[in-house]
Amino acid sequence: MDLQLAGRTALVTGASRGIGLAVVTALVGEGMRVVAAARNLTPALKATGAIAMSADLSTADGPARLVERARAELTDIDVLVNNVGGGDSVDGATGGFLSFDDEQWQQMFDLNFLAAVRTTRAALPSLVERRGAVVTISSNGARTPHAGPVPYTTAKAALTAFGKALAEEFGPAGVRVNTVSPGAVRTDMWESPEGYGAALARSMGVEHEQLLAQLPAAMGMVTGRLVRPEEVAALVAYLASPLAGSTTGADHLIDGGAVKTA
């Protein structure tokens, strides 16, 4: 299927690994010119053919500086993919609500919510001019906030609400805004020995591999397996394309059927 994206431009954040890397690969494969931003520029990211840019989007001015540099390369931005985020590196991530102090809450919101707010704000003039699209990666944890670190799932709930508000305000200006909410995806958050999945396994007194094997059933994923990053990327590419021209203001679950409500 031709997604009619060839020749268009995109900015993707959190692009060095996992879902972000898969999104960059998919968009470049569709013929887009892509600026791929990450704190650390990995060999895998450089190999995609995208324009790799180093950026720390957890800072107050990082997003605006990134958008300025991206526009210098691309001239205009047709598509913004807000993917940067994470919940796997905060100390005590498996300890429950009382284990998080104000600094940890702020860190989680800076990366998982405010980075998208700031990047979108900086990119909107170009997106309005180009009648573009925003696709933001949230999490099904926004709908099941007990299923992960409380600051992380709360930030993702705010992110999902932010997308709906943007779609309502900027839809008349021609900008489509959607969120994509994956469940457990085969990324470092779950699979790395230093990630959240490994920490969760230790807190439960089970082997990491055992946790990963049991995770789909425990989460109610009727597909029986974790989501692949490429599956999320394919959905993002479709939502970014003109083929999804009447799709906006929606939150798209891709979680193997884990969330049972409509």
* 148 and 21 belong to one structural domain: yes
* 22 and 151 belong to one structural domain: yes
Listed range (25-34, 112-121, 145-154, 224-233) with the worst mean pLDDT: 145-154
Which residues belong to the active site?
152
* 83 and 153 belong to one structural domain: yes
Question: What mean pLDDT is reported for the chain?
Answer: 94
The reply to whether 156 falls in a domain is yes
- Whether 213 shows a pLDDT value over 60: the answer reads yes
* 22 and 44 belong to one structural domain: yes
Q: What is the pTM of this model?
A: 0.94
* 179 and 192 belong to one structural domain: no
Q: How far apart are CA 241 and CA 122, in angstroms?
A: 21
pLDDT of residue 197: 82
* 173 and 197 belong to one structural domain: no
* 71 and 84 belong to one structural domain: yes
* 171 and 189 belong to one structural domain: no
* 88 and 202 belong to one structural domain: no
- Whether 91 shows a pLDDT value over 60: the answer reads no
Give how many domains the chain has, as a whole number: 2
The reply to whether 103 falls in a domain is yes
* 221 and 153 belong to one structural domain: no
pLDDT of residue 110: 96
The reply to whether 177 falls in a domain is yes
Residue 80, φ and ψ in degrees, nearest 5: -115, 125
* 94 and 207 belong to one structural domain: no
Helices (H), the chain: 18-29, 43-46, 62-74, 102-109, 115-130, 150-170, 188-191, 196-204, 208-218, 229-240
Tell me which residue range forms the domain holding 28. 9-183+228-246
The number of residues in the chain equals: 262
Which band of pLDDT confidence, cut at 50, 70 and 90, is reported for residue 203?
confident
- Whether 217 shows a pLDDT value over 70: the answer reads yes
Q: How far apart are CA 110 and CA 102, in angstroms?
A: 12
pLDDT of residue 92: 58
CATH of the domain at 21: 3.40.50.720
* 78 and 204 belong to one structural domain: no
pLDDT in tens, 138-194: 999 999 988 888 999 999 999 999 999 999 999 999 999 999 999 999 888 888 888
